[in-house]
Structure 1
């Protein structure tokens, strides 16, 4: 029964823990919840004497370990039930499930726990007078985030930059719990695809940016494929959830533990009414692949198989198209960069490549004391520098395309070939895809400059009494907005260059086919002219070549004079009739040449 003065949901279940739960608060399976963020810290304390008398056996009856197996088993059962209740909405399956990725829920561990990668993490603390840099591994970073004393910033630190290279669930979960990152932002981090648009999302505690970074690649990597984003990201659809346990699965698991007869605890585990029919949460990925026992599980498994098959076919198509397009291309790797800007001066950046080569220019600037980024100690200016870095990488891509389009133009003007047309067709397609992924970056930069304060004001309920008179302050500082204007100009140049290159490529393709058509027309014109010339001669030759015994030219003339007497006047009549347009064009051309020579001669005489 729920305790008196406790909260309960619509079905009468207590939303405050039992006394046993207070003694054993549920912890995250892979990362301990910070004490300052624990849900149980908000619960009013209970009298220790009453707690011991009602819920715990005496110390003399306990085994040496401190907790007897029966109470440990009861605690485990209640913990599973709590996990089931907390993830009941998410495990609704498929379309319509609750959006967002909450790292404190066990369902997130079941879904993303397999995303593991050896990350390279750099933590930079700096101000105008001092700086501190350190690199660490996954385990070291998780330990740092879990220790409030170790992760506390020193008083001289104005900006803390956490730069994460690689995607690993333990690292992202640790930093998410530490800085309370929004679940919707984490969903964009894990469910992202390379075709997603760059965007800026405003939340109460932080600003979230997702920007697609375009880099030149020496290797022949797939263009705009998931491989460019790292192999650790999931391909599950948005709002996808793990496959749930059924009641039968839970009963079998618990009975295999030796609890064949639950007694009173069986009712606690299964519940009553409709609560006993709800599925329980899986605890490992092997549970997700277990044999389905219900119709719901069969449908879920079938849908997962369909999604996996569709993903496999899509990747096969991408690989085949990429193989056909290989050759004279500009190899570009497109990968997302995620940036979090917090109010306390903390900037968190994430990208899928497990190294920090991309952000090394920013790190070098921070190590120098006389740079504007260092002397300002402005976290918004650090975000602007990261955006500027992404745009500078895109400028390198544009320069590579400029060189390539000039090469194709020279080949086309020298001698058009179908191979060059093929390369131009592929290049035009790549430019269209690049334009699709680069245009949102311009929108993001413009929004940060123009609508930063307005979007922050939209998050505040100005009608509330406590918010009246509150001064709205955006995430971006005035100085960073000034520098963003230069980044916006670079993006304008990039997009106009893409349009120009696409137009040049299309014109070169049209020029090639027009030249081929013109050459074909010239060939047909020559054949037609030859046919016109020899048509009268062919006609007369056919006539005089017939075997008639009484033909006068054969019997008496013994000469071809009569043939030419007929052929020459006939050609004199037929040829002008057919080539009159050519004669007119020739006369018009001669007249223009004479006129041009007269004008040139008149200017020379002056």
Structure 2
């Protein structure tokens, strides 16, 4: 029977190793031994009976039996890992790096990161770059990672996302599990926000950068859709019984009745798909979707990703390509600032590093960690200003093309530009809210973390994370955000007006063409009617037989002058004189009104000139 506090499968088999197998079983990546196996129990586990071997069993059956035992143990390990790491709606939020389940869930996320550690004060500074292994060893070594007495601010700048690096810095500085969940489960279009915790301040800010067509396309393919309906604690699909058979076949033990065929390699194998996520984008992608290839069998998240990439390909052309990626910032009261961004490059934060290397800069002389956070926010806002300036140039180009000669291609580009501006407004507005909250509610939110019911905290006056000087500089950043958002609204309005102007001009030109055709029809309508009447060749019609449209006709055959007095023009001219004014009266009134206004304007100008 399974021991108490142990997991078991549907057949009642214990999924945790026996006491005699603990030394051979898998150990926790964090603690070294499994906490479940080492936990005390009230009941003693009964020893399992060992199967007796018949002397008639073939000699080669012993390796086969061992192979079966190993395969079943691997399946049990997968099941136990699934039980630990199963998440979904109602799961416990947060990512606790001290749990073995976090290693099983996010251990496959690996990337070659570039970590820069900068220690500085107003008089001294020290800079160093590390790789993943060097940084992990640096964090684990308390003596090496200890700050010198002269260090006022330590800035750990992590470029890239890798589980070993984030786990090491989380264990060292005790990062909050909810903040880590936002780091690993965020998306490109997630709203910017700020969270207050007891140990540190956490900020997630979206960075808007100009990019090329290839970079924007690759970013869309990697990040997927901008919107998601997945739960906040969504994770890969659990390891089901249907997948067990697949794993058995992949391990070479498809049918237990034909072990010899399996051992001799007669069974078919295919490439095994990864069970755990290997990147942050795989965290919200179910495991089964990575095994299928048909469009109908894909999950909604993958379909949205495909639609996003296809839509971006259709929108490619004369547009502003903007790459949106999150930056995560942790601010500690001890003077430690940790920044993370997904791109494995330090080009984004190079301006801040150059300022820290110079002694006469305000960032360096103040040695204020909150001012470093303000500088990072200012850097991201300046990147957004570059995007806005590019949109300004683009909207002026489209306006010039529309005023010169409206084209449907320009209208298409304006439509795409207006949609992009709406999306950028959605991602940029929360940044203004974050900056305003840091300036206005920093102390109040920090005070809310203190439990006032405790007697020791009743006289405690909490302080905010942001200094007074950083709040002053944040006011300038807030003004820049106001300019960015007002520019977005202005560009969107200009684009909409240009689109309306184009279609109004097309309608006006069509109305002018129809007006000319109508005027020509009105002029020639009486003539056409009378010509048709007098052109009828009938003997009995006196008006046709005895009259003509000529005032005088010379009869060559009889050599005499015959005068025919026309009745056609006697009828046609009066009819035209009556019909034309009736139809063109509005035009005549408009012309008269224009002449009167023009004369009045000239009189006022002359009178003004004489007075001056």
Match status 1:586 vs 2:580: no
Instruction: Give the match for residue 292 of structure 1.
Output: none
Please point out which of 332, 353, 361 is paired with 2:351.
361
8 A contact 1:87–1:105 mirrored in 2: no
Please point out which of 548, 573, 579 is paired with 2:538.
548
Instruction: Give the match for residue 569 of structure 2.
Output: 564
How far residue 301 of structure 1 moved from its aligned partner, in angstroms, is 5.4
8 A contact 2:105–2:276 mirrored in 1: no
TM-score, scaled to structure 2: 0.76
Instruction: Give the match for residue 95 of structure 1.
Output: 89
How far residue 240 of structure 1 moved from its aligned partner, in angstroms, is 2.6
Instruction: Give the match for residue 434 of structure 2.
Output: 444
Instruction: Give the match for residue 211 of structure 2.
Output: 217
Please point out which of 354, 357, 362 is paired with 1:372.
362
TM-score, scaled to structure 1: 0.76
Please point out which of 595, 599, 604 is paired with 1:599.
604
Relative distance call for 1:311 and 1:85 in structure 2 (3 A) is closer
8 A contact 1:128–1:369 mirrored in 2: yes
2 CA distance for matches of 1:530 and 1:85? 88
Relative distance call for 1:287 and 1:559 in structure 2 (3 A) is closer
Single out whichever of 326-335 and 433-442 deviates more from structure 2: 326-335
How far residue 302 of structure 1 moved from its aligned partner, in angstroms, is 8.5
Structure showing the higher helix proportion among its residues: 1
Give structure 1 stretches of 5+ with no counterpart. Answer: 1-7, 10-17, 44-76, 257-283, 290-298
How far residue 229 of structure 1 moved from its aligned partner, in angstroms, is 5.7
Relative distance call for 1:532 and 1:493 in structure 2 (3 A) is same
Please point out which of 362, 375, 383 is paired with 2:373.
383
Instruction: Give the match for residue 476 of structure 1.
Output: 466
8 A contact 1:243–1:288 mirrored in 2: no
1 CA distance for matches of 2:333 and 2:207? 25
2 CA distance for matches of 1:485 and 1:26? 54
8 A contact 2:374–2:474 mirrored in 1: yes
Deviation digits for residues 41-98 of structure 1 (CA, Å, limit 9, x no counterpart): xx9xxxxxxxxxxxxxxxxxxxxxxxxxxxxxxxxx99x999999996752x421111
Instruction: Give the match for residue 168 of structure 2.
Output: 174
Cα RMSD over matched residues? 4.0
SS at match of 1:157: coil
Relative distance call for 1:433 and 1:307 in structure 2 (3 A) is farther
2 CA distance for matches of 1:538 and 1:461? 97
Instruction: Give the match for residue 52 of structure 1.
Output: none
Instruction: Give the match for residue 130 of structure 1.
Output: 124
User: Which structure: larger Rg?
Assistant: 2
8 A contact 2:114–2:346 mirrored in 1: yes
2 CA distance for matches of 1:304 and 1:240? 19
Relative distance call for 1:228 and 1:87 in structure 2 (3 A) is closer
Instruction: Give the match for residue 390 of structure 2.
Output: 400
1 CA distance for matches of 2:180 and 2:139? 17
Match status 1:161 vs 2:162: no
8 A contact 2:536–2:544 mirrored in 1: no
- Structure with more contact order per residue of length (Cα contacts < 8 Å, sep ≥ 6): 1
Relative distance call for 1:226 and 1:554 in structure 2 (3 A) is closer
8 A contact 1:120–1:355 mirrored in 2: yes
Question: Matched residue pairs, number?
Answer: 518
1 CA distance for matches of 2:21 and 2:439? 49
Relative distance call for 1:153 and 1:513 in structure 2 (3 A) is same
1 CA distance for matches of 2:336 and 2:174? 12
Match status 1:499 vs 2:489: yes
Instruction: Give the match for residue 146 of structure 1.
Output: 140
Relative distance call for 1:313 and 1:343 in structure 2 (3 A) is same
Deviation digits for residues 441-489 of structure 1 (CA, Å, limit 9, x no counterpart): 0000011111111111111111112322112011111111111111111
8 A contact 1:110–1:285 mirrored in 2: no
SS at match of 1:333: strand
1 CA distance for matches of 2:408 and 2:239? 59
How far residue 592 of structure 1 moved from its aligned partner, in angstroms, is 1.1
